[in-house]
């Protein structure tokens, strides 16, 4: 029994890591080797795929553009969701439950529904092909999610904390920033993590609302197609690099995510 207690989780982790290992292994192979014989590791190890990505502006600027609009979106989503979640957790008003549910329905809608309206709107106001265009489009999905997560954390904080701060002479914003936000730091970390990951992996809106200047890495990856097929090694290298930002974010918010599963709506 003791042996099975660690053997089964180990097999499960290996099973989950296998696709990642295969992707990384492919990134060090040439396309001919990938399409040729089946190998567990590169027979002719090469860094050419990574060299192309780090030296070609059309490649590495895709990562820069993606990171810029993802950070803008995460900051905007969490900043807007914080006071909204506080209102839902502390006050009761006409239609509060209906409004809360309506927010969640926005999160449930597919991105394809909003692609054309956003395209026409942003083209009309002159922000098409900018980082702000993608960031604002993603807030439609991330703000409801952040509000839902943060409301669960805020509801777990006793209202006596608010009342005590007001008795001590704190203004609302001073109390909210200096006392309340540190109290729900775990919830903010969880909400920021999910906003970051949604914006990082979302493809349809990011490609539809950009052309050249703010083109994300997902759009750059589609150009590997040619008459002779796909450059699989280059695609694998690009895919490997897209995993790194998410892994870094997970590392820094891992403790907050653990608390989120225990305390919040995750």
| Whether 72 and 124 share a structural domain | yes
The answer to the question of residue 189 being in a domain is: yes
The answer to the question of residue 31 being in a domain is: yes
| Whether 59 and 20 share a structural domain | no
Highest mean pLDDT among 104-113, 132-141, 166-175, 215-224: 132-141
| Whether 116 and 223 share a structural domain | yes
Q: Is the pTM of this model over 0.75?
A: yes
The domain in which residue 7 lies consists of: 1-46
Mean pLDDT calculated for residue range 63-87: 93
The answer to the question of residue 172 being in a domain is: yes
Q: Which residues is 225 bridged to in the sheet? A: 230
Average pLDDT, the chain: 85
| Whether 83 and 213 share a structural domain | yes
At 39, the pLDDT band (50, 70, 90 cuts) reads: confident
The answer to the question of residue 143 being in a domain is: yes
CATH number at residue 67: 1.10.3720.10
Burial of 187 (0-12, 13-18, 19+ CB in 10 A): buried
| Whether 127 and 20 share a structural domain | no
| Whether 132 and 29 share a structural domain | no
| Whether 83 and 142 share a structural domain | yes
The answer to the question of residue 63 being in a domain is: yes
Higher pLDDT, 226 or 23: 23
The answer to the question of residue 266 being in a domain is: no
pLDDT of residue 250: 82
Domain count, the chain: 2
| Whether 161 and 126 share a structural domain | yes
| Whether 86 and 40 share a structural domain | no
Q: What is the pLDDT of residues 151-192, one digit of tens each?
A: 888 888 888 888 888 888 888 889 999 999 998 888 898 899
- Of 47-51, 137-141, 160-164, 212-216, give the lowest mean pLDDT range: 212-216
The answer to the question of residue 130 being in a domain is: yes
At 229, the pLDDT band (50, 70, 90 cuts) reads: low
For residue 100, pLDDT over 60 is answered with yes
For residue 72, pLDDT over 90 is answered with yes
| Whether 200 and 102 share a structural domain | yes
| Whether 8 and 140 share a structural domain | no
| Whether 63 and 153 share a structural domain | yes
The answer to the question of residue 200 being in a domain is: yes
Give the Cα-Cα-Cα angle 243, 248, 251 (nearest 5 degrees).
125
Q: What is the pLDDT of residues 117-131, one digit of tens each?
A: 999 999 999 999 999
């Amino acid at each position: 029994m003791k042996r099975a207690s660690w053997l089964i989780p180990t097999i499960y982790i290996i099973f989950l890591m296998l696709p990642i290992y295969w992707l990384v292994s492919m990134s060090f192979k040439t396309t001919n080797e990938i399409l040729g014989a089946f190998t567990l590791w590169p027979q002719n190890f090469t860094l050419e795929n990574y060299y192309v990505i780090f030296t070609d502006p059309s490649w590495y600027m895709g990562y820069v553009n993606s990171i810029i609009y993802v950070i803008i979106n995460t900051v905007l989503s969490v900043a807007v969701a914080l006071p909204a979640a506080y209102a839902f957790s502390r006050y009761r008003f006409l239609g509060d439950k209906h409004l809360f549910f309506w927010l969640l329905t926005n999160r449930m809608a597919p991105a394809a529904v909003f692609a054309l309206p956003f395209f026409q709107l942003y083209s009309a106001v002159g922000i098409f092909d900018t980082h702000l265009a993608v960031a604002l489009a993603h807030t439609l999905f991330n703000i409801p999610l952040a509000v839902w997560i943060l409301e669960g954390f805020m509801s777990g904080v006793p209202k006596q904390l608010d009342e005590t701060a007001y008795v001590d002479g704190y203004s609302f914003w001073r109390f909210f920033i200096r006392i309340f936000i540190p109290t729900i730091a775990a919830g903010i970390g969880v909400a920021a993590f999910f906003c970051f990951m949604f914006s990082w992996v979302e493809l349809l809106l990011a490609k539809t609302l950009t052309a050249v200047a703010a083109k994300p890495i997902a759009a750059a990856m589609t150009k590997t197609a040619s008459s002779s097929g796909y450059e699989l090694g280059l695609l694998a290298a690009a895919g490997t690099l897209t995993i790194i930002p998410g892994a870094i974010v997970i590392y820094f918010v891992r403790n907050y995510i653990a608390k989120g599963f225990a305390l919040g709506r995750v």
